[in-house]
Amino acid sequence: MVLRGANLARKRFPQIDFLVFGQESEVAPILNRMKRLKQVTTLVHCDGVVSDSEKPSVAVRSGRNSSMHRAIRAVRDGEAAGCVSAGNTGALMAMAKMALKTLPTIDRPAIASFFPTLRGESVMLDLGANVQCTAQNLVDFAIMGNAFSRTVLGTQEPSVGLLNVGAEERKGHEALWDARAQLDRLEMPGRFHGFIEGDDIAKGTVDVIVTDGFTGNVALKTAEGTAKLMGVYLQRTFKSSIFAQLGYLLARRAMHKLRKRTDPRRYNGAIFLGLNGITVKSHGGTDAIGFANAIGVAVDMAREGFMDRIRTDLAQIRSNPTNTRAAAV
Q: Which residues bind a copy of itself (CB under 8 A)?
A: 116-118, 128, 131-132, 163, 165, 172-173, 197-203, 211, 213-215, 217-234, 237-238, 240-241, 243-244, 246-255, 257-258, 261-262
Report the nearest approach of a copy of itself to the CB of residue 178 (Å). 15
232-261: b or e for each residue (b if 16 or more CB lie within 10 Å)? eeeeeebeeeeeeeeeeeeeeeeeeeeeee
Element (H, E) at 159: strand 159-163
Residue 194 or 198 having the CB closest to a copy of itself: 198
Report the nearest approach of a copy of itself to the CB of residue 159 (Å). 17
Residue 172 or 190 having the CB closest to a copy of itself: 172
Q: Which sign does the torsion angle of CA 27, 32, 37, 39 carry?
A: positive
Report the nearest approach of a copy of itself to the CB of residue 160 (Å). 17
Residue 250 or 329 having the CB closest to a copy of itself: 250
Residue 224 or 308 having the CB closest to a copy of itself: 224
Report the nearest approach of a copy of itself to the CB of residue 74 (Å). 29
Tell me the CA distances in angstroms from 37 to 23, 31, 81, 302, 320, one per residue in order.
17, 7, 18, 20, 47
Report the nearest approach of a copy of itself to the CB of residue 142 (Å). 17
Q: 274: phi > 0 → left, psi -120 to 50 → alpha, else beta; which?
A: left
Residue 89 or 151 having the CB closest to a copy of itself: 89
Residue 165 or 315 having the CB closest to a copy of itself: 165
Report the nearest approach of a copy of itself to the CB of residue 91 (Å). 14
Report the nearest approach of a copy of itself to the CB of residue 18 (Å). 31
* Side-chain-side CA neighbours of residue 258 (13 Å): 12
Residue 35 or 261 having the CB closest to a copy of itself: 261
DSSP 162-227: EE-S-SSTT-S-HHHHHHHHHHHH---SSEEEEEE-HHHHHHT--SEEE--HHHHHHHHHHHHHHH
Residue 45 backbone dihedrals phi, psi, to 5 degrees: -70, 135
